[in-house]
């Protein structure tokens, strides 16, 4: 299984709603990432989890709350979002192996397209 699965594919929410994005991989990768991508722009790093611990937070507003319940699952909880948060949210995973054998390659899901009304 070489897939990263993201659900839902599309999400429309109001500014007062609470919703979550889900990401799952079964490749045994121990680093997982959330990226935000606006139209015609590159992916922007939001969070990195390494061995289920948050290791990078790129000064993301607190209305985005990541969670890594186990090594296969990554969630992004959304609350009180703004219309400018509408974007494609990409999850990626990366092998983390002891002894420095990390190739650096990211495996991406197809993304969750979020629209905030």
Residues contributing to the site for other proteins (CB under 8 A):
4, 6, 31, 33, 40-43, 45, 48, 50, 55-56, 90, 92, 94, 102-111, 113
**Smallest distance, other proteins to C-beta of residue 1, A:** 16
Q: 46: cis peptide before it, omega within 30°?
A: no
* Residues 60, 87: Cα–Cα separation, whole Å: 14
For residues 102 and 89, is the Cβ–Cβ distance under 8 A?
no
Strand-strand pairing, 44-50 and 53-57: antiparallel
Q: Measured from the CB of residue 69, what is the shortest distance to other proteins in angstroms?
A: 20
CB of 64 to other proteins, least distance (A): 18
């Amino acid at each position: 299984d070489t897939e990263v699965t993201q659900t839902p594919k599309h999400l429309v929410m109001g500014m007062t709603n609470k919703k979550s994005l889900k990401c799952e991989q079964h490749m045994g990768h121990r680093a997982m990432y959330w990226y935000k991508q606006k139209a015609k722009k590159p992916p922007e790093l939001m969070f990195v989890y390494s061995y289920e611990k948050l290791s990078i937070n790129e000064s993301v507003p607190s209305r985005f709350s990541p969670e890594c319940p186990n090594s296969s699952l990554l969630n992004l909880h959304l609350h009180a979002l703004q219309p400018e948060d509408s974007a494609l949210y990409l999850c990626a995973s990366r092998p983390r192996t002891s002894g420095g054998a990390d190739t650096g390659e990211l495996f991406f899901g197809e993304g969750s397209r979020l629209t905030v009304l």
